[in-house]
Structure 1
Amino acid sequence: MVASIKSAGKLSESSIRSQDDLEKVVEQEQPKKKWRWRVDTSDAPKEIFNRTLYLSILVFGVLGSARGYDEGNISGTLAQVSFKKTFGLSDPHKSKDEVANLKSNIAAMVQLGSIGGSLLAMYTVDRLGRIRALQQVCIIWIIAAIIQITSKNVGQLYAGRLIEGFAIGQTTTIGPLYTAEVAPPQIRGMCGCIFAGAVYFGIMMGYFANYGTALHMLNTSQVQWIAPTSIKIVLAGLIFIGSFLLCVESPRWLVKVGKVELAAQNLSKIRHLPPDHPYIVGEVADINELIAIEQEAISGSGVFDKIREILTVKSVRYRFFAVATMSQLLGQWSGANAVTIYSPELMGFAGYKGVERLKMTAVLGVVKFISAYASAFFIIDFLGRRKALYTGITLQMISILFFAIFVTVVPNATEDVPLPLTASEDRAAKAALASLYLSGVGWTMGFNSIQYLLGSEIFPLRIRSFAQSAIMVLHFANQYGNSKALPKMLLSMHKFGAFYFFVGIMAISLFWAWFFVPEVAGRSLESMEDIFSLPWYMIGRKGAELCPDHSEVSKIHVNSSGHGNAYDGKLDYDEKTSVHHDEGNSLMVKDSNEKDLEKEVKK
């Protein structure tokens, strides 16, 4: 700020008696910021937080409900009497192990298809663009839903769920990438968590759809499971229409494919600022500069070049393996997805039977939905990535530990035909149910917020979509393994053993979050390289402190006193430390009147 006032008025040294006097003036100009339970955006142009931005992010964010609705829907569908009868889950000739295997195959088939979808996203997201990629996903999703609701045998059901996985696998790359690329740095975490929260919006809808049909339809009616599955067609259709009416293509993708002028126009639309505004020019300059550096650093852009870069470039290797890969590995084996998919069975462990299991499962969906968006709006940007992760993992670990102890102490609650519980055991069962709900709160605050967000933030633009897609392959591979493993873990590890395993994973996760994960909240995407160029053992603990954000956008501030040097005093821009090479555009800098500024300084 000191440098900006000097350069704005081009003051002579004699006009300012000392550095201290000038700093006092600066302090007087800047109003004291009040503490508030949200991110402070007062330093940025207010126009950038607008309806166009929020509607675009809403469409891509709601895309997260694709994965969520399937998880919530299939968890209740597996418990529906008509579904069990149609697909052999209630066949008395099958052993417990055979039924568990069939159940896990049906539940995990979408995760298996999602691995292929994530691989497909490596091509579609960059080749088609973010919006066109979203639209083709919606078409695949609708086709898959139609195949499922017309299924008469388990083979057709497998095919429909596998194809749905090809759509869902792409959503986890498309949604987080788009929101990270269009969101201002101040609220990028919140915007990214719109997608993560939509997962639980979908789960909640799936839970309630199953509960409603179980409550009001006959067990023998096929409509009991067909009606909830059909809602996938409605969701996909609404997102498809919204992508045409409400979305603006990512400016960063447009710059990447050489459409710089269109990128500036789209950035202008989504920021509600004119194309020659300093904020727009500065942001485009940041993107151009990063791409120029990247193009000098590498000669190829094929798949093998990107794989080689991940394996051989130290800063990228750290991001991929130490941060993004570990967030998926630890997060998926922390037990949260097992709780989501098999929640009706776990509610039975807590003493609930029949339709009551679906009712309490639906309540779990509400808890996760509310906590996911509470984390998005009030935690992830306000506290930062690291503190949110610490808090979430700790709460989840304590809650799962309590549930594990309950299952150990009251083993009769987990029997197929549970014995009546004593008064004290019944109270413990209710506490165990509450612990499952709290574990969901911890998950949404910690791992769920981070697993999509970090990959979309930390990678260079040249490999961002490729790396995010590769990370999502690991995400679904681990989720598939988790979904397949849990029924057999409950059989072979005395039911409580699986939950102690999850507790151990979360204890390791706390150390990982402290040592390896840097704080990147509020930074521009183009400033990430500085942090990851540090020695590996300093990145997580000291990266944010040692490498402040020096991007052009970070140097543009709202100047409420009216004495800035851009746009008639509305903005203050640090010219001294800013150099631009954009031939098509230049900053519209107002030459301030030196005498007026000197008078203000003397005041």
Structure 2
Amino acid sequence: MAGGVKKPVNIFRLKRQGEPREIFNWRLWFAVVSFGLLGAARGIDEGLISGAFNSKHFQRTINYSSYTTVQQANIKANVSSMVQIGSVGGSLFAFLVCDRIGRIWATRQLCILWVFGIAIFMGSNGNLGAIYAGRFIVGLGVGQTPVVGPIYIAEIAPASIRGLCTCIFTGFVYLGIVLAYFTNYGCQVNLGDNTASRWEVPSSLHIIFAGLIFILTFFQYESPRFLVKHRKHDKALHVMSRLRKLPADHDYVVEEIDTIINSHNEELEATKVSGWAGVLKETFTVPTNLYRVCLTIGAQIMSQWSGAGSITLYAPDLFSLLGITGTNETLLVTAVFGIVKLVAAIICALFLVDFIGRKRSLLLGITLQAIAMIYVAGFLTAVPELGSDPAYNLTSYELGPSKGAIAMIYVSGFGWALGWNSMQYLLTAELFPLRIRAFCTSLAMAFHFANQYGNSRAVPNMLLLPEDGGISPQGTFWLFAAVTILGGVWVWLMVPETAGRSLESMDRLFSLPWYKIGRYGNQDAQVHDQECDTQQRASGVAPQEKKDAFGV
């Protein structure tokens, strides 16, 4: 091929597609890491809020002890989950800013909202209304991160490593969790439990990360696919050339941009309606797009009600429930839990998602999560006193199973990081055509945060005994186990494999009837790919002719 294409470097045993070595360069990785850092927003909040809320100073500030047990559960649930309800609005708002002002400026404005909200929270002086308002505004900013980050990363990453690049976003979710957990632990040990610094210092992590991300945006380029969507083709070609570290007239760059332009033109031609009406028509009246919408919404429902997200949010409380005593010990065990999830996310990104595929990695994670949930539910059923008596001391016969239950919480976190938590962002970011990608990702993330809010808001009350209006700890985990198993069956039947495909070729996965897509969509798409390759070779269209057609 013209342009001096070199043999591609074999990174992490990924499926190669004949890419030049130059495209795996520092500019690509710098951009991926800069936008991957957006994942830390959710991780920091989920890791911090439970520890901050449980500090004695914070509880005295809001006069927590004056409320009844049920009222305390409601307050804790409201404070913890207010970011999720704000994130519903934030994720929908992200569609407007992503498509109007671009991925770069969308990132800058969400960082401003994020900092503004946390400033109100930290300056609330114990006023519950101000605490709720501050955390709601934090949600408006944080809720945009799983829309903007994965979309940008998926749009700039080469197809063969798109899974790895997008999973870096997930990795930063867990890096945020680990930093939050260990900051809580360090402040508990060194600052004590009775000072404002105990919860204010960890909360400052929000400001540090928001400021870092804001600064990094000034060193990045706008997404080439966003530029194509706004008919800035020359600029898109220039940006793609810089990201790939190849000349603008190189066959690989020209063909990539040409494919994006042609695909976008086909999307416009399919509806012939511009603006909001065109986006809605294309989303809900094109059967393949509607299937993808249902697929991503179903993934959000199944993943959030599998319970792993609420385990992250309420980890200190759940470890105490399973027999860990002492604030310091609980926070330390929780911090180790964060490390386990971070390691799992790294393993998924480097060795699974692009190597064995999205679907197999997801099913592996779900299997581990289901085993863990069943064990914990069984243990709590065998020792119901743990849920009814906070002062209950485990017998010598119960200590071993208790440690097993704690280990299974780690296993559930490992499975969650391998499966649902990585795939829910990756699949959502890569399934949709360019014209409706931002809208559909925002819609999916709105369902993500709505279900996360419902789950995190409900769990403190679900853990209460039936006489207090709950379903008991064991009932809660049996529910999580049932949803996890149901989710595994649903994935096997409905979710197609997307690994190794370009964003513009995803349509080929959905040409079969809906009930066959999950099991046979990938095989059918591969047959279609082979037929297209054969037709192109027979037509004799050379790469240089494609380049001339673009006008370079």
Q: Taking structure 1 as the reference length, what is the TM-score of the superposition?
A: 0.85
Are positions 1:113 and 2:77 aligned together?
Answer: no
Measured in 2, the distance between the counterparts of 1:387 and 1:361 equals 28
Quote how far apart the aligned CAs of 1:112 are. Answer: 0.7
Are positions 1:223 and 2:197 aligned together?
Answer: yes
Amino acid across the alignment from 2:89? G
Equivalent in the alignment of 1:530: 508
Equivalent in the alignment of 1:453: 426
Secondary structure class of the residue paired with 1:90: helix
Structure 2 vs 1, CA of residues 583 and 530 (structure 1 numbering), >3 Å: closer, same or farther? same
Secondary structure class of the residue paired with 1:197: helix
Judge conservation of contact 2:251–2:547 (CA < 8 Å) in 1. Answer: no
Tell me which of 43, 47, 61 is aligned to 1:72. Answer: 47
Amino acid across the alignment from 2:213? I
Measured in 2, the distance between the counterparts of 1:294 and 1:403 equals 48
Amino acid across the alignment from 1:163? I
Q: Which moved more, 1:134-143 or 1:441-450?
A: 134-143
Are positions 1:367 and 2:367 aligned together?
Answer: no
Equivalent in the alignment of 1:409: 382
Measured in 2, the distance between the counterparts of 1:371 and 1:512 equals 23
Secondary structure class of the residue paired with 1:225: helix
Quote how far apart the aligned CAs of 1:462 are. Answer: 0.5
Measured in 2, the distance between the counterparts of 1:254 and 1:461 equals 11
Tell me which of 436, 440, 451 is aligned to 1:467. Answer: 440
Deviations 1:401-430 (A, max 9, x none): 111111111122334433221222111111
Tell me which of 240, 260, 270 is aligned to 2:214. Answer: 240
Amino acid across the alignment from 1:576? G
Judge conservation of contact 2:154–2:166 (CA < 8 Å) in 1. Answer: yes
Equivalent in the alignment of 1:394: 367
Are positions 1:89 and 2:64 aligned together?
Answer: yes
Alignment identity in percent?
43
Are positions 1:136 and 2:87 aligned together?
Answer: no
Equivalent in the alignment of 1:508: 486
Measured in 1, the distance between the counterparts of 2:207 and 2:118 equals 6
Judge conservation of contact 2:341–2:413 (CA < 8 Å) in 1. Answer: yes
**1:52-71 matched pairs, under 5 angstroms:** 52-71=27-46
Are positions 1:338 and 2:302 aligned together?
Answer: no
Tell me which of 152, 161, 166 is aligned to 1:192. Answer: 166
Quote how far apart the aligned CAs of 1:167 are. Answer: 0.4
Measured in 1, the distance between the counterparts of 2:444 and 2:407 equals 32
Amino acid across the alignment from 2:315? S
Secondary structure class of the residue paired with 1:339: helix
Structure 2 vs 1, CA of residues 520 and 574 (structure 1 numbering), >3 Å: closer, same or farther? farther
Are positions 1:205 and 2:171 aligned together?
Answer: no
Quote how far apart the aligned CAs of 1:586 are. Answer: 6.0
Quote how far apart the aligned CAs of 1:495 are. Answer: 1.3
Quote how far apart the aligned CAs of 1:306 are. Answer: 2.3
Are positions 1:518 and 2:496 aligned together?
Answer: yes
Secondary structure class of the residue paired with 1:520: coil
Amino acid across the alignment from 1:43? G
Are positions 1:48 and 2:23 aligned together?
Answer: yes
Deviations 1:330-369 (A, max 9, x none): 0000000110111111101221122211111111111111
Equivalent in the alignment of 1:318: 291
Quote how far apart the aligned CAs of 1:300 are. Answer: 2.2
Quote how far apart the aligned CAs of 1:582 are. Answer: 6.0
Measured in 1, the distance between the counterparts of 2:18 and 2:433 equals 26
Structure 2 vs 1, CA of residues 428 and 318 (structure 1 numbering), >3 Å: closer, same or farther? same
Measured in 1, the distance between the counterparts of 2:280 and 2:214 equals 32
Deviations 1:270-298 (A, max 9, x none): 00111111100110111011011111111
**Structure number with higher helix proportion:** 2
Amino acid across the alignment from 1:212? G
- Segments of 5+ residues of structure 2 without an aligned counterpart are 465-469
Amino acid across the alignment from 1:352? I
Quote how far apart the aligned CAs of 1:533 are. Answer: 2.5
Deviations 1:135-192 (A, max 9, x none): 1111111111211111111111111111110101111100010010000000000111
Structure 2 vs 1, CA of residues 574 and 478 (structure 1 numbering), >3 Å: closer, same or farther? farther
Quote how far apart the aligned CAs of 1:52 are. Answer: 0.1
Judge conservation of contact 2:255–2:546 (CA < 8 Å) in 1. Answer: no
Measured in 2, the distance between the counterparts of 1:214 and 1:436 equals 23
Measured in 1, the distance between the counterparts of 2:233 and 2:449 equals 35
Secondary structure class of the residue paired with 1:523: coil
Equivalent in the alignment of 1:600: none
Equivalent in the alignment of 2:71: 98
Amino acid across the alignment from 1:513? V
Measured in 1, the distance between the counterparts of 2:528 and 2:355 equals 21
Measured in 2, the distance between the counterparts of 1:210 and 1:340 equals 14
Amino acid across the alignment from 1:362? A
Quote how far apart the aligned CAs of 1:244 are. Answer: 0.9
Tell me which of 542, 548, 561 is aligned to 2:520. Answer: 542
Larger Rg: 1
Secondary structure class of the residue paired with 1:547: helix
Quote how far apart the aligned CAs of 1:198 are. Answer: 1.0
Measured in 2, the distance between the counterparts of 1:240 and 1:480 equals 27
Judge conservation of contact 1:527–1:551 (CA < 8 Å) in 2. Answer: no
Measured in 2, the distance between the counterparts of 1:306 and 1:62 equals 29
Q: Which moved more, 1:533-542 or 1:327-336?
A: 533-542
Measured in 2, the distance between the counterparts of 1:457 and 1:538 equals 20
Measured in 2, the distance between the counterparts of 1:574 and 1:149 equals 67
Q: Taking structure 2 as the reference length, what is the TM-score of the superposition?
A: 0.93
- Segments of 5+ residues of structure 1 without an aligned counterpart are 9-29, 556-572, 588-603
Quote how far apart the aligned CAs of 1:486 are. Answer: 0.7
Amino acid across the alignment from 2:540? K
Equivalent in the alignment of 2:151: 177
Equivalent in the alignment of 1:592: none
Measured in 2, the distance between the counterparts of 1:229 and 1:574 equals 62
Q: Which moved more, 1:302-311 or 1:219-228?
A: 302-311
Quote how far apart the aligned CAs of 1:37 are. Answer: 5.8
Quote how far apart the aligned CAs of 1:220 are. Answer: 2.0
Equivalent in the alignment of 1:441: 414
Equivalent in the alignment of 1:17: none
Structure 2 vs 1, CA of residues 83 and 575 (structure 1 numbering), >3 Å: closer, same or farther? farther
Judge conservation of contact 1:526–1:551 (CA < 8 Å) in 2. Answer: no
Quote how far apart the aligned CAs of 1:303 are. Answer: 2.8
Secondary structure class of the residue paired with 2:340: helix
Equivalent in the alignment of 1:568: none
Judge conservation of contact 1:276–1:585 (CA < 8 Å) in 2. Answer: no
Measured in 2, the distance between the counterparts of 1:301 and 1:438 equals 48
Equivalent in the alignment of 2:260: 287
Judge conservation of contact 1:89–1:103 (CA < 8 Å) in 2. Answer: no
Secondary structure class of the residue paired with 1:548: helix
Residues paired across the two proteins, number:
536
Secondary structure class of the residue paired with 1:212: helix
Measured in 2, the distance between the counterparts of 1:312 and 1:234 equals 44
Judge conservation of contact 1:69–1:199 (CA < 8 Å) in 2. Answer: yes
